Structure 1
Amino acid sequence: MDNSKPEISVIKMYAAREEIYPREIKGRYASIRWLCVWLTQLAFYGLPWLSWNGRQALLFDLAARKFYIFGIVLWPQDFIYLAALLIICAYLLFLATAIAGRVWCGFTCPQTVYTEIFLWIERVIEGKRSARIRLDKQPASLSKYAKKTAKHLAWGSVALWTGFTFVGYFTPIRELALQVTAMTLGPWQTFWVLFYSFATYGNAGWLREQVCKYMCPYARFQSSMFDKDSLIISYDRKRGEPRGMPNKHSEAQGKQFGSCIDCSMCVQVCPVGIDIRDGLQYECIGCAACVDACNSVMDKTGDARGLIRYTTDNALANNLSVKEIKRRALRPRVLIYGAILSMIVIAFFTALTMRTPLKLDVIRDRGALGREVEDGMIENVYRLQIMNTSETAHLYKITVDGIDTLKLVNSDEVQLDGTETRAVPVRVQAEAGQGAPGSNDISFSLQAVDDESLRVTEKAVFFVPR
């Protein structure tokens, strides 16, 4: 009889994070990546400070329910335009992914951009990859704490400025700056500035590749947009294997090696810590750092570049030329994405161009139906909700039609400033005997006196007592 205790095995559902120390690399794609960093951050930090018609050029004023996009003012009724803009961005992402894989993730995604900035700060303060590894392994010391403190203070400063700028897209940034300077920032502005600052600090400084691996849904469904002709970063196994560095001993034994010398540079520069030589992995963000690293090694060994490169599965399997790769780029999936995107863009800009910057809603006074007033006239009362959605003041003339002898009793003109909304009460009368008993269809028209193109018409009902 076996009285030994059963073995207990522990299954870990989550692997502890291993610190990644990406090595700095120079090259074509590193330069493109930094160009994207500069362009995106100049746009992000600079746009809120631009002025247009005496106000902030780009402002999503939630409190006033107005979205200012340079010369365009969008109201809650114009939400369809924002929805169309989001759809256009989504299809752009689908199209770019079908053609060039995760090029968005590798070069312009905010997570990638801010991680790149935070890594640069880390290198400046703590040193290169080997120095950072040694520093983390050192016992506690004044020098170590000084460097770590300086790094986190720099990270915090960038994060705070990022959070402040982000909130500046929803609250006028100049007013926000004055409130910060005078220490009169409201509780909600304070909360959101600190919230987005903390998000930037945590995601770019601490989580980094964890965001791309576990939090970002794009990594999970990207494979549905890939096919055999999508450009991805790939390792040429036919050329690279077997790996190894030739030496006198191996040559004497007649061993043959591929172009890969197994230097692991491609792994050291990877911001998500994967080995691209194991094949395409969902963690790969397509930043092409491994391409620059491998090309620099090939230059030193005298071998041809491109052992790791942007290519397609079909190109690797069938040795396709660059010309053939470009020809296969125009395949049904890409053409369908492109056609849908083109139609949406054309429809969006057509609707935006033809949009009349004037809105009219007619609200009938339901508390008082048609009533007979002096001289036997029948009167109905309405409230006209008028919105001048442009930034130019206009004088508007109000007219009403639909029944003979129908007329406005009060003033038929109204002056509205730019982006002003006003409720205008109006009384409409018709002679007795005009119109059928009950409901009669009428229409209100609003015409700008100084611009004939600014005209809207809205239907309403005139009630005649039975």
Structure 2
Amino acid sequence: MTDANKIAIKDAGSNEQIDLYQKREKIYQRHLSGFFQNIRVITIWITLGVYFLGPWLTWDGRQGVLFDLPERKFYIFWFTFWPQDFLYLAWLLIIAAFALFFVTAVAGRIWCGYTCPQTVWTTFFMWIEYITEGDRHQRIRLDAQPWSVSKAIKKLSKHSLWLILAFFTAFTFVGYFAPVRELWSDLYHFNVSGWVWFWLAFFTVCTYSNAGWLREQVCIYMCPYARFQTVMFDRDTLIVTYDEKRGEPRGARKKTAEPEQLELGSCINCKMCVQVCPTGIDIRNGLQIECIGCAACIDACDSIMDQMEYPRGLIRYSTENAIVGDKTRIVRPRIVAYALLLVILCGSFVYMVFSRVPLELDIIRDRNALFRENWEGHIENVYTLKIMNKTQLAQNYDVIVSGLNNMVPHIPGNIHARPGELLTVTVTLEVALEELEKRNTTIYFTVKSNTQPSQEVTEESRFLGPFE
């Protein structure tokens, strides 16, 4: 991307020098509603619903989503994954990274504004603050007042609700790693181990701190996404923009006044866009790294434009090219590249998951003797088979050995494995000496399920004989 295509992104929306160690200025966000905020409410409730209900879902008589670390089993509905399946997690993270690149190149920080966990929980915490302490001007006045019974009750109510929500967030998170119903019963009877108490307290404090106190500081200083987003933006990226040509010069006026006669733009300088911004920036100063693309300023500005009977869209989702009157290119090389990579990665991931055989076979040759000669003069090799049933159902297996003529396998019958069980099976192979054409012969072990014939895995090994 050439310099001409890059978007100038300002830091903190001001040309003033900022001291990184200066005292934080508290942001009092104004409550509002509007088209985009209604969409955010829907996405927030969906996100919270999926998170809080996830561990309570039941699948085949067990918890639908459970990451059982002590047993090293990770249940996701009808799939069971093991530590050996780490490749799938790595693949999924790669897909998530490219999906983020694709979405950012197309629509800016829409992930941050609508579905990022920090945004979701912070918005919920701020809604609690709104119902307990009131709207922006009421909270400013409340903080400026000396302490009183009324102020203490409001503050105590807010922080109590914050802690309750933070605790249930922590409880749900731990419930993804421990059976949530057992956890709830143990918690109810105060029969919880010290480590469980530790993690409950740890995640409660983290949620309470991040969503209740740090808020925009996480987005501005702690999250690296704000810093490297500029390499993914271009002049065709959909972002929250202020139409400077239409809005300037800004200035207050009566509703009945004609802006043209006053030589003013459409912006009445009400600063509503600043008051509703969760990170406290002024979008009129241009695109800034603090902007999370939540569109609160768009809804606020549109409401003012409606009151003034001006056209909407002074602040809107648009592109830099569209704002200056140039053509916006939706389809461009980087978008096509991201889209193709996502299709390939997602297709490969789906194929890998649904074609994986939930059966693992490891073959260990007897290390005590390369071979042995039995009483008939035949050569024997001993193998230990490690057979892991990675399904959620009991399985019966057959073991088939091939690769050597007139070989006599001694295989235990009725190889039965419970769900998730690791079996150890000893197999002895016997071959007459005259049948061995060479000292080292490749053989193949095939383990096949009688219960589900599609589950079959083959591994190779070696049959060793004496020197010629």
TM > 0.5 fold call: yes
User: 1:445 is paired with a residue of what secondary structure?
Assistant: strand
1:197 to 193, 198, 204: 204
User: 2:435 is paired with a residue of what secondary structure?
Assistant: coil
Inter-partner Cα distance in structure 1 for 2:301 and 2:278: 15
Matching residue of 1:355: 356
Q: In 2 relative to 1, CA 13–25 (structure 1 residues): closer, same or farther, beyond 3 Å?
A: closer
Matching residue of 1:6: none
Inter-partner Cα distance in structure 1 for 2:433 and 2:260: 115
Matching residue of 1:104: 111
- 1:456 shift after superposition: 1.3
Matching residue of 2:226: 219
Compute the TM-score of the two structures, normalised by the length of structure 1: 0.93
Counterpart contact for 1:162–1:197, Cα < 8 Å: yes
- CA offsets 1:410-456 (integer angstroms, 9 cap, x no match): 41440112222212122222223332564321111112224332221
Matching residue of 2:441: 440
Q: In 2 relative to 1, CA 351–251 (structure 1 residues): closer, same or farther, beyond 3 Å?
A: closer
Counterpart contact for 1:436–1:464, Cα < 8 Å: no
> Which is further off, 70-79 or 215-224?
70-79
Counterpart contact for 1:381–1:428, Cα < 8 Å: yes
The aligned amino acid for 2:435 is Q
Counterpart contact for 2:399–2:411, Cα < 8 Å: no
Inter-partner Cα distance in structure 2 for 1:11 and 1:21: 20
Confirm or deny that 1:181 pairs with 2:188: yes
User: 1:229 is paired with a residue of what secondary structure?
Assistant: coil
Mapping of 1:83-232 within 5 angstroms? Answer: 83-232=90-239
Counterpart contact for 2:440–2:463, Cα < 8 Å: yes
Report the RMSD for the aligned CA atoms in angstroms: 2.1
Inter-partner Cα distance in structure 2 for 1:253 and 1:229: 31
Counterpart contact for 2:259–2:265, Cα < 8 Å: no
Counterpart contact for 1:235–1:277, Cα < 8 Å: yes
Mapping of 1:50-449 within 5 angstroms? Answer: 50-246=57-253, 255-318=262-325, 325=328, 328-436=329-437, 438-449=439-450
Inter-partner Cα distance in structure 2 for 1:208 and 1:258: 34
The aligned amino acid for 2:152 is Y
Q: In 2 relative to 1, CA 440–140 (structure 1 residues): closer, same or farther, beyond 3 Å?
A: same
- 1:461 shift after superposition: 1.3
User: 2:367 is paired with a residue of what secondary structure?
Assistant: coil
- 1:318 shift after superposition: 1.3
Q: In 2 relative to 1, CA 11–115 (structure 1 residues): closer, same or farther, beyond 3 Å?
A: closer
Inter-partner Cα distance in structure 1 for 2:448 and 2:385: 14
- CA offsets 1:185-206 (integer angstroms, 9 cap, x no match): 2222222222111111000000
Aligned-pair identity in percent equals 50
The aligned amino acid for 2:39 is I
Inter-partner Cα distance in structure 1 for 2:198 and 2:331: 48
User: 1:359 is paired with a residue of what secondary structure?
Assistant: strand
The aligned amino acid for 2:353 is L
Q: What 5-or-longer segments of structure 2 have no aligned partner? A: 1-16
The aligned amino acid for 1:308 is I
The aligned amino acid for 1:418 is P
User: 1:270 is paired with a residue of what secondary structure?
Assistant: coil
> Which is further off, 393-402 or 114-123?
393-402
User: 1:220 is paired with a residue of what secondary structure?
Assistant: helix
Inter-partner Cα distance in structure 2 for 1:329 and 1:464: 68
Pick 1 or 2: higher relative contact order, CA cutoff 8 A, min separation 6.
Answer: 2
Aligned length: 451
Compute the TM-score of the two structures, normalised by the length of structure 2: 0.92
- CA offsets 1:247-298 (integer angstroms, 9 cap, x no match): 59x9899631100000000000000000000000000000000000000000
